Structure 1
Amino acid sequence: MSPTAPSRAPLPGPWGALLYEARTTHVRAEPRRVFRHRFPLWLVDLDALPRLPWPLRPLARFLPRDHALHPGSPTLRADLERDLAAHGLQLGGGRVLMLAQARSLGHVFNPLTVYWCRDAAGAPLCTVAEVHNTYGGRHRYLLRPDAAGLAGVAKDFYVSPFLPPDGRYHLLLPEPAPDGARLHLSVRLELPGGPALTATVSGTGRPAGPAALLRSALRYPLATFAVSLRIRAQGVRLWLRGLPVHPRPSAERAARP
């Protein structure tokens, strides 16, 4: 994130958003397994969410309940500001960019949503990595990455029954360029014995508009359903291989929104 980048320069295109054809790769260390799939990702400004014409709205919607951690939050920005304030951070009208899948055909599941937050002067304030698990739980990690987008944080949220609840994440989350230049993010989970899992997301964005959305919908039909199904299918494969299961902590069960 560059401190000199403009704070309110609009994202390109008729909807003021970028649409990426993204590819994610998950590499599990033990047993070694590699999972890959493609799906659409959106980069949007929380203060200028895309307003699609009504015939296209079933294909892409951004609803607070899909991301908000606090019931009753009127907007996603207000929900995020509540968490930032708890850490002594104030946006002060600054810009927040969100990278996530949109709700499509009534369904959405985002294993990882990223928010890049800037203050009123346009300077980087923080990056928030919001993790969702398949049990309906959500958790936000507030990060202070360096100029390259690198940050580390202790794991304190249950994601997979095949990974222990402890460990440390090493994340590379540079803020995407507003011109849609190539996106590259990575998350590596380190355990005492070494790396356990590395996930990367890459892609090239283009201005979001009717043509880009329809092209994406045709190329990746039912994309949000596919993400959920693939995660569960991968879990079944690992279970069939006899991997030990780590029970979900009771405290995490109670923390579901």
Structure 2
Amino acid sequence: MPETCLYHGEVVHRRLSPLRHQLRYRVYNILADVDRLDELARSCRLFSYNRLNLFSIMDRNHGPGDGTPVREHAWSLVRAAEGGEGVRRIFMFCYPSVLGYVFNPLTVYYGVDAQGRLRLMIYEVNNTFGGRHSYVLPVKSNVAQQSAPKHFFVSPFNAVEGRYLFNFTLPEERIALGVALTVGDKPVLKAYVSGQRKPLTDANLLRSFLSIPLLTLKVIGAIHLHALKLWWKGLKLNRRPRGPNHTVDFLPEAHSQP
């Protein structure tokens, strides 16, 4: 069974086509039970829920972005999804707000049953233009590969086309998550996040802050710096299509990893 904790690790982002480029940086993430965010805030002085602190999780930064509680939104997706009937707990994996600021390219929600087995995954994708899109997929084993058509504009260097391939494992001592984008038979990019579990305590929160004090600026800065490098290398820009700021796809595609 997953448990609320910190993960210290790294992100690797590899562009494979039409040119090759790589981005790698150290990060830390929080894994938290969406039904126990208030309890977590009471147990740590340096973490708050919907209040400014050194670290926090804010409802407005997730789901529809209108202040709907994270737990309410997550459970509404689970109840509406194929395979959601067996889910008993939901854990969210994300960057925390640091001094009130955060940007999560991807927040992942793990839906587990009473035995701690994964039953459902929610991939909440954000772009830097304020848009958000969630892909909701059932799970058929704890080590799985899932696929979803890309329906959301993320980067001006990628059109809204192709398919995502998600690879993941149940978060335990280590966490591993991979996302690949293919267009036709051509791999376009691959991104990975991995990490080692740490107890979520004030001492470890402080160590996290001191190791990477400006996590949000680091994430956003890395995105824009490498976008500039891709533009300098001549990669074509795509126009952002108009559309709603928050959308959801419910998908049945999931299969065990060979």
Q: Same fold per TM (> 0.5)?
A: yes
- Name whichever structure is richer in strand by fraction: 2
Q: Deviations over 1:23-76 (max 9, x none)?
A: 010010121001001111011111112215445652211121111226352x21
Taking structure 1 as the reference length, what is the TM-score of the superposition? Answer: 0.85
Q: How does 1:21-36 map to 2 (within 5 A)?
A: 21-30=8-17, 31-36=19-24
Alignment of 1:41-80 (within 5 A): 41-49=29-37, 50-51=40-41, 53-54=44-45, 57=48, 58-69=53-64, 71-73=66-68, 75-80=69-74
In structure 2, the CA distance between the partners of 1:141 and 1:93, relative to structure 1 (3 Å rule), is closer
Given residue 36 of structure 2, which amino acid in structure 1 is its aligned partner? A
Name 1:153's counterpart in structure 2. 148
CA contact (8 A) 2:59 2:65 kept: no
- Output the TM-score relative to the length of structure 2: 0.84
Q: Verify the 8 A CA contact 1:91 1:117 in the aligned structure 2.
A: no
Q: Residue type of the partner of 1:67?
A: H
Give the alignment of 1:108-187 within 5 angstroms.
Answer: 108-119=102-113, 124-147=118-141, 148-177=143-172, 181-187=173-179
Q: Which runs of 5+ in 2 are unaligned?
A: 248-258
Q: By how many angstroms is 1:191 displaced?
A: 0.9
- Kept in 2: contact 1:136–1:256 (CA 8 A): no
1:61 alignment partner, SS class: strand
Q: Deviations over 1:172-220 (max 9, x none)?
A: 122201xxx1221111101114100000111101111011111110101
**Distance of 1:55 and 1:101 partners within structure 2:** 15
The whole-number CA distance in structure 1 between the counterparts of 2:87 and 2:166 is 27
1:214 equivalent to 2:206? Answer: yes
**Aligned equivalents of 1:216 and 1:62: distance in 2?**
16
Per-residue CA deviation, residues 137-176 of structure 1 (Å, 9 max, x unaligned), is 1111012234212111111111010012100111112220
Instruction: Check the 8 A contact 2:34/2:70 in 1, yes or no.
Output: yes
CA contact (8 A) 2:63 2:73 kept: yes
Q: Is 1:167–1:192's contact at 8 Å kept on the other side of the alignment?
A: yes
Alignment RMSD:
2.2
Deviations 1:215-248 (A, max 9, x none): 1101011111210111111111111222111111
Instruction: For residue 91 of structure 1, report the CA deviation from its aligned partner.
Output: 5.4
How many matched pairs?
Answer: 238
